[in-house]
Amino acid sequence: MQTKILKPIVKKEALLLKVKKSPLKPGVYLMKESSGKIIYVGKAKNLRNRLKSYFYTKDHTPKVAVMVSRVSDLSWIITDTELEALMLEGTLIKKYHPRYNIHLRDDKTYPYLRITVHEQWPKLEVVRRPKRDKALYFGPYTSAYSIRETLKLLTKIFPIRDCSESKFSNRTRPCLSYDIGICTAPCVNIISEGAYRKIVDDLISFLKGKKKDLLKALRNQMKELSSQTKYEEAAQLRDRIQGIEHLLEQQKVVSLKLTDQDVIGWCRKEEDIEIALLFIRAGRLLGKKIFSFSRVTQPEEDFLSSFILQYYEMEFIPDEIIVPVTLSDQKILQHFLFQQRSKAVKLIFPKSGEKKALLAMANENAKDHLRHGGVQKEVSILEELKTKLHLKNEPDRIECFDISNIQGTNAVGSRVTFIQGKADKNFYRRYKIKTVEGPNDYAMMNEVLSRRFKNKDEDTFPDLLMVDGGRGQLSIALQVLKELEIENIDVIGLAKEKTISSFQGKLIEKLQERVYVPGQKNPVIFKENSPALHLLQRLRDEAHRFAITYHKKLRSKTAFE
CA dihedral 543, 544, 550, 554 (to 10 degrees): 150
13-95 sits in which CATH class? alpha beta
Q: Considering only residues 222 and 502, tell me which one the structure prediction assigns the higher pLDDT.
A: 222
pLDDT in tens, 412-444: 899 999 987 888 888 899 998 888 887 888 999
Q: What is the pLDDT of residue 492?
A: 94
How far from 223 is each of 199, 226, 282, 329, CA to CA, in Å? 18, 5, 28, 55
Peptide bond before residue 140 is cis, with ω within 30 degrees of 0:
yes
Q: What is the pLDDT of residue 373?
A: 59
Residue 453: name the closest of 425, 508, 415 by CA.
Answer: 415
Q: What is the pLDDT of residue 196?
A: 93
Q: What is the pLDDT of residue 5?
A: 47
The answer to whether residue 559 scores a pLDDT higher than 70 is: no
Give the chain's mean pLDDT: 83
Q: What is the pLDDT of residue 337?
A: 92
CA dihedral 74, 99, 370, 356 (to 10 degrees): 40
Is the pTM here over 0.85, yes or no?
no
* Architecture per CATH, 381-560: 2-Layer Sandwich (3.30)
Q: How confident is the model at residue 335 (pLDDT cuts 50, 70, 90)?
A: very high
Q: How confident is the model at residue 333 (pLDDT cuts 50, 70, 90)?
A: very high
Most confident of 232-236, 320-324, 364-368: 320-324
Q: What is the pLDDT of residue 360?
A: 92
Task: Parse the chain into domains and list their residue ranges.
Answer: 13-95, 112-252, 261-373, 381-560
pLDDT in tens, 9-65: 555 778 888 888 899 999 999 999 887 888 899 999 999 999 998 888 777 777 788
Which range (18-22, 123-127, 232-236, 343-347) has the least confidence? 232-236
Q: What is the pLDDT of residue 2?
A: 46
Pairing of strands 320-322, 261-269: parallel
Instruction: For the domain made up of 261-373, give the CATH fold.
Output: Nucleotidyltransferase; domain 5 (3.30.420)
Spatial CB neighbours of 552, under 8 Å, sequence gap ≥ 6: none
Q: How confident is the model at residue 3 (pLDDT cuts 50, 70, 90)?
A: very low
End-to-end CA distance of the chain: 84
Spatial CB neighbours of 117, under 8 Å, sequence gap ≥ 6: 134, 135, 136, 200, 204
Which range (21-25, 176-180, 471-475, 495-499) has the least confidence? 495-499
Q: What is the pLDDT of residue 271?
A: 77
- Let me know if the fold of 261-373 is the same as that of 381-560: yes
